[in-house]
Amino acid sequence: MYLNNLAPRGRSRMVKHEQEFLNNIQSIMLSISRKLRPVLEKHLQPYGITPPQFNMMFTLEREGACRVTHLADIINVKPSAITVIMDRLIERQLVLRYHSEVDRRVVMMELSENGKQVLAKMMQSYRQIMGQYFAQFTQDELAAFLELFQKLDAVITTTKIDFEQGEK
């Protein structure tokens, strides 16, 4: 493997090219994120939706009705942060909040029918925008891109990092 010289314990003993490799990955990921954020914001503006609200709606569409705590885990935020975002979506009748029939202490969230329709419109136009970028790639490149991102997601999900052992 390319980064085999990374020491899993104590101080990292990376050679210079490995450091540059990791720096390049971080730099390009930040660059892509910075460039896509204004595209997403402009795309969402006609709907009066912010990127965090869009992400929440997208997650609810994929997950279906779910507990607030589960939603917080998925998007890696505190439940209180979800409440602020959800309150605005509930006001606009895009999301429903209710207590579980099984356990009244559990708060559930799901997209309303109106929310599903609005999200479908946003997704259709967003796919057109993103499609313009991805049209520059071959099917093989797109498949490899997806496979690598899925693998990275799985590795990040399953790998436990001990931050106490890192360099100080």
Sorted by where each starts, the structural domains of the chain and their CATH numbers stand as: 49-158 (1.10.10.10)
Kindly list the distances between the CA atom of residue 38 and the CA atoms of 45, 47, 51, 83, 85, in Å, as whole numbers in the listed order.
10, 15, 10, 25, 19
Q: For residue 53, name the pLDDT band (cuts at 50, 70, 90).
A: very high
- Could you tell me the two tokens for 161? 């990092």
Q: For residue 140, name the pLDDT band (cuts at 50, 70, 90).
A: very high
Kindly list the distances between the CA atom of residue 129 and the CA atoms of 28, 73, 132, 134, in Å, as whole numbers in the listed order.
20, 29, 5, 9
Helix ranges restricted to H, 8-163 = 16-44, 51-63, 68-75, 79-91, 113-134, 139-158
Residue 21 has pLDDT above 70, yes or no: yes
Cβ contacts of 92 within 8 Å, gap of 6 or more: 48
Confidence at residue 34, expressed as pLDDT on a 0 to 100 scale: 95
Local structure of 144: helix, strand or coil: helix
Arithmetic mean of pLDDT, 4-27: 71
Q: For residue 105, name the pLDDT band (cuts at 50, 70, 90).
A: confident
Give pTM, 2 decimals: 0.77
Arithmetic mean of pLDDT, 75-98: 91
Q: Are 70 and 121 in contact (CB under 8 A)?
A: no
Please give the mean pLDDT across all residues of the chain.
Answer: 87
Q: Are 32 and 23 in contact (CB under 8 A)?
A: no
Arithmetic mean of pLDDT, 71-91: 88
Report the percent of the chain where pLDDT is more than 70: 88
Residue 8 has pLDDT above 60, yes or no: no
Confidence at residue 3, expressed as pLDDT on a 0 to 100 scale: 55
Task: Give the single-character DSSP code of 130.
Answer: H
Report the percent of the chain where pLDDT is more than 90: 60
